[in-house]
Structure 1
Amino acid sequence: MTVRISDYIHGMALSKLARWADLTPWELVSNAPERVRELLKQLPDDDYLVLDDIAVHRTAQVEEGAILKAPLIIGAGCFIAAGAYLRGGCWLDEHCIIGPGAELKSSFVFGGSKLAHFNFVGDSVLGAGVNLEAGSIVANYRNERTDKTVNVRVDDVLVPTGCDKFGALLGDESRLGANAVVAPGGLLRPGTVIRRLALYDCEVI
């Protein structure tokens, strides 16, 4: 039961992450800092300002008060608002927005995706054009039970990932409404819409 990132994110094969296209999303994020450091080595010096393993494209805008922690790559045309918090090894493709009060941890975000404000996304892969309305969350840890292993649902069967930290794979153009929650292990097909205040949990569907 294979979960292919390219089935959810159509630009995967042509992206900077193409070398890891055969990994499951939880395998990709499990070593996010190391993978971002690999990508840092290949960035064109003329296009990025790089300091202490934090690379910001010269066309990106980072407001004063944003917290950036290495390793980190912020792509062309991105906007990072005051109060945003990026940590744990993150990669942002072009024209992404991380709004005020939004936290992104150990995640890979494809072009044009937006965390509007007051979001948390942990250990996840977000496709192109994904939009998270205010307060929506992609949780990455099963706090409610003794066994912390995150499961995913494949062909209506729960499959253990072997990881205790994995958020979700959000396919291209997915939408999370305000204050919606995706529980750990979510696999959202392209174009999926989670309504405002809704919970998506693969273990209780």
Structure 2
Amino acid sequence: MPLIVDQIGRFSSSPLGQFRDLKPWELTAGSPQFIERLLGQLGDDYSVTAGIALHASAIVDPAAAIKGPAIIGPGCFVGAGALLRGGCWLEADCILGPGTELKSSFVFAGSRLAHFNFVGDSLLGSDVNLEAGAVIANHRNEWPDSAISFLYKEGRIDTGVGKFGAVVGDRVKIGANAVIAPGAILTPGTIVGRLSLVDQAPVDIV
């Protein structure tokens, strides 16, 4: 789907390419079942225990918590106090630093969540960097019983789901303590300044 492939260059050629017809929020909402499918397609260089696949070259700190299903790819590092839940996929050479929480999300090669980040129901492209404290929120607490909507290319997109974070394009840099509000598309190479708010909600519901 263009919302994904226009932002993440490796998507179609990656293992996630088999889900290319899904909308981003459909992929994140169904992440546990999709990752369960991917678990059956892994090579012998992964060990799988309780629905958690760990590549032989990945490092997970003993103080991290991973709730399956999850796939931790080659060269990845998961630091102390990190939490992965709700179905997560790390492609290769990704870093989840201390205190980072990743929920129902897919992260492509070389991306780094420095520490004390929250990323929910999102897709992150390659070589994305989140500085300390940056958040990609996934729920509109101020919209009771409302599905997430957002603006993209001057059009309104209604997701029909109550939880969705963002599609973050390749090489995006998000500064310390910045907040990406639920429902966002960040195009490749975007730089979000420290302490910034990115909110793509339609004007009529903010």
Is residue 37 of structure 2 the alignment partner of residue 38 of structure 1? yes
Is 1:4–1:23's contact at 8 Å kept on the other side of the alignment? no
> Aligned to 2:38, what secondary structure does the other structure show?
helix
> Aligned to 1:202, what secondary structure does the other structure show?
coil
Is 1:4–1:22's contact at 8 Å kept on the other side of the alignment? no
2:150 aligns with one of 152, 165, 175: 152
Instruction: Provide TM-score, normalisation by structure 2.
Output: 0.96
**How many angstroms apart in 2 are the aligned matches of 1:193 and 1:204?**
22
Is 1:82–1:99's contact at 8 Å kept on the other side of the alignment? yes
Aligned residues: 203
Question: Counterpart amino acid of 1:160?
Answer: D
Gaps of 5+ in 2: none
> What are the superposed Cα offsets for residues 63-112 of structure 1, whole Å, 9 maximum, x if unpaired?
11000100000000000001000000000000000000000000000000
Question: Counterpart amino acid of 1:70?
Answer: G
Gaps of 5+ in 1: none
1:68 aligns with one of 66, 69, 76: 66
Equivalent residue, structure 2, for 1:179: 177
Is 1:67–1:84's contact at 8 Å kept on the other side of the alignment? yes
Is residue 116 of structure 2 the alignment partner of residue 122 of structure 1? no
> What are the superposed Cα offsets for residues 14-60 of structure 1, whole Å, 9 maximum, x if unpaired?
1010011122211111100000000001111x201110110000000
Equivalent residue, structure 2, for 1:85: 83
Is 1:104–1:122's contact at 8 Å kept on the other side of the alignment? yes
Question: Counterpart amino acid of 2:7?
Answer: Y
Q: CA deviation at 1:6?
A: 0.7
Is 1:76–1:95's contact at 8 Å kept on the other side of the alignment? yes
Is 1:4–1:21's contact at 8 Å kept on the other side of the alignment? no
Is 1:107–1:122's contact at 8 Å kept on the other side of the alignment? yes
The 5 A counterparts of 1:1-205 are 3-44=2-43, 46-203=44-201
Is 2:147–2:162's contact at 8 Å kept on the other side of the alignment? yes
Q: CA deviation at 1:153?
A: 1.4
> Aligned to 1:12, what secondary structure does the other structure show?
coil
Alignment RMSD:
1.2
Is 1:141–1:148's contact at 8 Å kept on the other side of the alignment? no
**How many angstroms apart in 1 are the aligned matches of 2:80 and 2:119?**
17
**How many angstroms apart in 1 are the aligned matches of 2:155 and 2:82?**
36
What is the percentage of aligned positions where both structures have the same residue? 53
> Aligned to 1:13, what secondary structure does the other structure show?
coil
> Aligned to 1:17, what secondary structure does the other structure show?
helix
**How many angstroms apart in 2 are the aligned matches of 1:150 and 1:111?**
28
**How many angstroms apart in 1 are the aligned matches of 2:100 and 2:153?**
33
**How many angstroms apart in 2 are the aligned matches of 1:3 and 1:164?**
22
Is 2:149–2:202's contact at 8 Å kept on the other side of the alignment? no
**How many angstroms apart in 1 are the aligned matches of 2:199 and 2:3?**
20
> Aligned to 1:14, what secondary structure does the other structure show?
coil
**How many angstroms apart in 2 are the aligned matches of 1:168 and 1:55?**
25
> Aligned to 2:34, what secondary structure does the other structure show?
helix
**Superposition misfits of 4+ residues, deviation over 3 angstroms:** none
